Amino acid sequence: MARTGSRLRATLVLGASALALAGCMDTGNLDWDLRAGGGDTSDAARQATAAAPTPDGNGIISYPDYQMATARRGETVASMAGRLGMNPEDLARTNALRPTDPLREGEMLLLPKRVSATPQPAVIGGTVSGGSVDITSIATTALDEAGPTPVATSPAASKPVSGQPLTHRVARGETAFTIARTYNVSAKALADWNQLGSDMAVREGQTLIIPVATAAAPDPEPVPTAPGAGSPTPEPPSAKKPLPDEKTEASGTKPKGTPASPDMGAEKTKPSKMAMPASGKIIRGYDAKKNQGIDIAAAAGSPVKAADAGTVTVLSSDTNGKGIVIIRHAGDLLTVYVGVSGMVVKKGDKVKRGQEIGKVAAGDPAFVHFEVRNTSKQSFDPVGYLQ
């Protein structure tokens, strides 16, 4: 009986200790990579990473070649697909799930096709107009027709593309910690970027965004030497191979037969400027995040002209039937025209600077959205290119 009482008291003491330890644990300061004390599991500190991306109002994170969607409370794969207007089977298959599978709030899924971002109202003359189409999203979708880089679906990482993070498809047996070590980023950053749960769980077939490094990992610590021996002196580069003999001349000596130096200032050419695609006033300026081009107010039915000589690569239209034209120019530049009706060019046509490609579509107000991008889809302020 006494022995049974002793065991009971020991069990109660251990249980109370475990509860006290759990209550004192600060999960915000948890040592994610086991670096504290003697438990260092990394050869060097992980790279510093940028802040995690912020989804738009519809829970979408967009990059040039892929999009991720975050789940809302109580959603399943099928209900998310319905909210985004896509096939539940396609969304489930892309993420190695079933349409009926429940999703954790904040869980991120790779979208099988591009969807429009949250519509932004157009700013006209400093005021906000009513529900307009998201011009930037439309132009980006049209640019995809010019030849996007597909998202990798193999267990390996996607290929590096300028302006977007890598993606990784989780293979069997991988964990968040092993994936973080593979890309030399912290597990905490990987969890923040992908909104992983507190248990850091990942599943086979899940697509993860790899955090973007903002600085390289520091150099590893030098190899320790014996006490009193001092640090080893690095070998200078010149010690391995002697410098060649060099015959020098006085600085004022000019070699015989040297031609006269040309006047580079007189021969310098100015960079070519683009022509305005429509005759009117700019009513909305360039913003790299909200409006990746400019809006030019113009009379409906007036000409829309090619800003420079090039080749027509895309003819498309938005959900309101307004035409989209994309022209490829020299120097790997693309110009995008949105809000064009009555197109008079075909895909593959060669156009000259100032040549009419269509008319300004009717609208309230009528305007043309104009963008300048490179072939990597990076946008630039068109005003710097226009006369």
pLDDT digit string, tens, across residues 134-160: 444 445 545 554 443 343 333 456 655
Q: How many domains does the chain fold into?
A: 2
CATH number at residue 177: 3.10.350.10
**Contact of 351 with 342, CB cutoff 8 Å:** no
Can you name the residues that pair with 304 across neighbouring β-strands?
Answer: 358
- Overall pTM surpassing 0.85 (yes/no): no
CATH number at residue 324: 2.70.70.10
- Produce one character per residue of 343-379: b if its CB has 16 or more CB atoms within 10 Å, e if not: bebeeebebeeebebbbbbebebbbbbbbbbeeebeb
Where is pLDDT greater, at 63 or 30?
Answer: 63
The helix or strand, by DSSP H or E, that contains position 21, with its residue range, turns out to be helix 2-24
Residue 236 lies in a domain: no
> What does 185-200 look like in DSSP terms, one character per residue?
--HHHHHHHHT--TT-
58 in the same domain as 180: yes
Distance of CA 377 to the CA centre of its chain: 11
What pLDDT digit, counting tens, does each position of 80-125 carry?
A: 999 988 999 999 999 999 999 999 998 999 999 988 755 433 333 3
Residue that is last in its domain, among 215, 234, 265:
215
- Which range has the worst mean pLDDT, 203-207, 218-222, 305-309, 362-366? 218-222
211 in the same domain as 90: yes
> What does 130-180 look like in DSSP terms, one character per residue?
SS---HHHHHHHHHHTT-PPPPP-SSSBPPPBTTB--EEEPPTT--HHHHH
Residue with tokens 């420079």: 308
Residue 302 lies in a domain: yes
Residue 227 lies in a domain: no
Residue 68 lies in a domain: yes
Where in the sequence is the domain holding 189, given as residue range(s)?
48-117+150-215
Residue that is last in its domain, among 215, 239, 264:
215
85 in the same domain as 195: yes
The helix or strand, by DSSP H or E, that contains position 305, with its residue range, turns out to be strand 303-305
Residue 259 lies in a domain: no
Residue that is last in its domain, among 176, 194, 215:
215
